[in-house]
Amino acid sequence: MISTALARELREAGLAWHPASGDRFQIDRPELDGDIFTVSDLTIESHHYPTGTVLGFNGTTEWALDSVAVEDALWLPREDQLRDLLRAAFRRLDRTDDAYVVTAVIDGDERRYESVSAPEAYGLAVLALLDRVRA
């Protein structure tokens, strides 16, 4: 799983989230930083309205929380989602003794993004790709 800090950087860089079943997220408030939720057709559903997307909490499993606007949620993309976001830029994932390394081609250059977890390495590569698009 990627870190909260990297998830925030990805959001600030323009990564859009369209909630789907299986997606993990946090409610973006410091007091809820350690709580991770999963969109599910049974407990947390994504409701799309003309005014925006709301994540509805069904039942009583999630305290008394009824819903939260998607803007107040922080998406924690999975490894496969991050790899898909890289698309044709992705070259390979390697494992060293203490790290995972994602190799991607950005601006015609082959670049390496290293972290202690594969999802975080993918996230760093996606962030670099988004930064290139914004530049």
Q: State percent of the chain over pLDDT 70.
A: 90
pLDDT digits (tens, 9 = 90+) for 45-64: 787 888 888 877 765 454 55
18-45 average pLDDT score: 82
Question: HEC states along 54-114?
Answer: EEEECCCCCCCCCEEEHHHEEECCCHHHHHHHHHHHEEEEEECCCCEEEEEEECCEEEEEE
Q: How far is CA 33 from CA 25, 29, 81, 105, 107, in A?
A: 10, 6, 22, 33, 35
Q: What is the pTM of this model?
A: 0.83
pLDDT given at position 67: 66
pLDDT (tens digit per residue) in 62-100: 455 566 778 889 999 999 999 999 999 999 999 999 999
Going from N- to C-terminal start, the domains of the chain cover: 18-75, 79-134
Among 2, 47, 1, CA closest to 20: 47
